[in-house]
Amino acid sequence: MKKYIIIALLSLLSYNANAQFINKSEFGIIVGGGNYIGDINPKFNFYNTNLMVGAIYRYNINPRWVIRGNFLFGSVKAYDVDFDNIRNLSFESKINEISATCEFNFFDYQTGSKKHRVTPYLFGGIGVFFMNPKTLIENRITNKTEWVELQPLATEGQGMEGYESPYSLTQISIPFGLGLKFSVTKFISIGLEWGLRMTFTDYIDDISTNYVDRSILLDWSGELGASAADRTNEIQDNVYNPAGSMRGNPERNDWYQFFGFTLTSKIPYKAKCYTF
């Protein structure tokens, strides 16, 4: 009996000694496009797709489960004029994301394996993203068209007495989606991926609630703030929306999405080999 126990223990130790040198880490790049879904573009479509790029790290726990980290950099933008909306608002914003997710492979998968070389997968997790909505507008003081940051202008009264606090430019997101990855060499894996980002803000586009009284806004953020908040008059002369009328839909937060390619490689290492 002791003989069999010793053999079993030695076999387990040998397996663990070898297993600890199996390269479980992969690092690579992610390249594709992204866009926004919100008050200007309320549908889940591919309107106004912009380049997004980043870095990806995977730690393969086993052939089915993967822990993953992402750094994603890009931008989103939308224009009411594209939808014939006389509201005439527009914005562009950077989207820089850091996220941690978990992947579930539908089939056993290992980069470099000839037997387990392809699998679809699902992923989900949590992320932090940084935004800064801006718009291109004519400054009536300087008579020049310029990009202005919208959050400091309090376009919907944020920060004024009786209104909400200014929204944060750092927000939480819930990334989730699906993909397909394929091992092409002993060390290289490529993939296709599509993922949505649910957020907890309605201000990626700086649009959410109602118009503010123009005279109050003029006192607070000047002509530039008042002009950025209500741009209907640029299409219809001297037409301004009354205070309290709907500017956006506060019942639905903004989203953004990413779709593209992944390219990862096993991280090279040197390791000693033990035999029993």
In this predicted model, which residue has the larger pLDDT, 7 or 75? 75
| Percentage of the chain modeled with pLDDT above 90 | 78
In this prediction, residue 269 carries a pLDDT of 59
Structural domain includes residue 221: no
Summarize pLDDT for 27-61 with one digit per residue, the tens: 999 999 999 999 999 999 999 999 999 999 999 99
Lowest mean pLDDT among 5-14, 140-149, 216-225, 256-265: 5-14
Q: What band does 22 get if pLDDT is binned at 50, 70 and 90?
A: low
Structural domain includes residue 1: no
CATH number at residue 92: 2.40.160.20
Structural domain includes residue 126: yes
> Residue 31 belongs to what domain range?
21-132+169-209+247-266
**Distance (Å, whole) CA 159 – CA 122:** 41
Average pLDDT over residues 94-121: 95
Structural domain includes residue 214: no
Structural domain includes residue 198: yes
Domain count of the fold of the chain: 1
Structural domain includes residue 3: no
Average pLDDT over residues 84-101: 96
pLDDT reading at 140 higher than 80: no
Going from the C-alpha of 250 to that of each of 22, 77, 114, 204, 209, the distances in angstroms are: 50, 19, 51, 12, 5
Structural domain includes residue 128: yes
In this prediction, residue 262 carries a pLDDT of 97
Summarize pLDDT for 149-202 with one digit per residue, the tens: 999 999 999 999 889 999 999 999 999 999 999 999 999 999 999 999 999 999
**Distance (Å, whole) CA 237 – CA 145:** 19
Mean pLDDT of the chain: 89
| Percentage of the chain modeled with pLDDT above 70 | 87
pLDDT reading at 275 higher than 70: no
In this prediction, residue 19 carries a pLDDT of 42
In this predicted model, which residue has the larger pLDDT, 3 or 255? 255
pLDDT reading at 93 higher than 80: yes
Summarize pLDDT for 3-20 with one digit per residue, the tens: 543 343 334 334 344 444
Structural domain includes residue 25: yes
Question: Residue 218 phi/psi, 5° resolution?
Answer: -60, -40
Q: What band does 143 get if pLDDT is binned at 50, 70 and 90?
A: confident
- pTM (predicted TM-score): 0.85
